[in-house]
Amino acid sequence: MSSGEAFRLAREEGRGCLVGYLPVGYPTVDGSIEAMKAITEGTRGQGVDLVEIGAPYSDPMMDGPTIQHAANRALERRVRTSDVMRAVEAVTNHGTPAVVMTYWNLVEAYGVERYARDLSSAGGSGLITPDLTPDEAEEWMAASDQYDLDRIFLIAPSSTDERLAMTTDACRGWVYATSIMGVTGARDEASSQAPELVRRAKQVSDLPMGVGLGVSNGDQAAQVCSYADGVIVGSALVNRLIDNERTGGSDLTELRRVADDLAEGVRRRG
Catalytic residue among 41, 49, 52, 229: 52
Could you tell me if 171 and 205 are in contact, meaning their C-beta atoms sit under 8 angstroms apart? yes
Distance CA 65, CA 137 (A): 28
Could you tell me if 226 and 21 are in contact, meaning their C-beta atoms sit under 8 angstroms apart? no
Could you tell me if 255 and 36 are in contact, meaning their C-beta atoms sit under 8 angstroms apart? no
Q: Tell me 248's DSSP state.
A: T
CA proximity to 84, closest of 43, 114, 42: 114
Catalytic residue among 12, 41, 49, 63: 63
Helices within the chain (DSSP H only) = 3-12, 29-41, 65-76, 81-93, 104-110, 112-121, 138-146, 161-170, 194-202, 218-224, 235-247, 253-268
Sequence-distant (≥ 6) Cβ neighbours of residue 192 within 8 angstroms: none
Query: Is 63 a known active-site residue?
Result: yes
Query: Is 59 a known active-site residue?
Result: no
Just list the catalytic residues: 52, 63
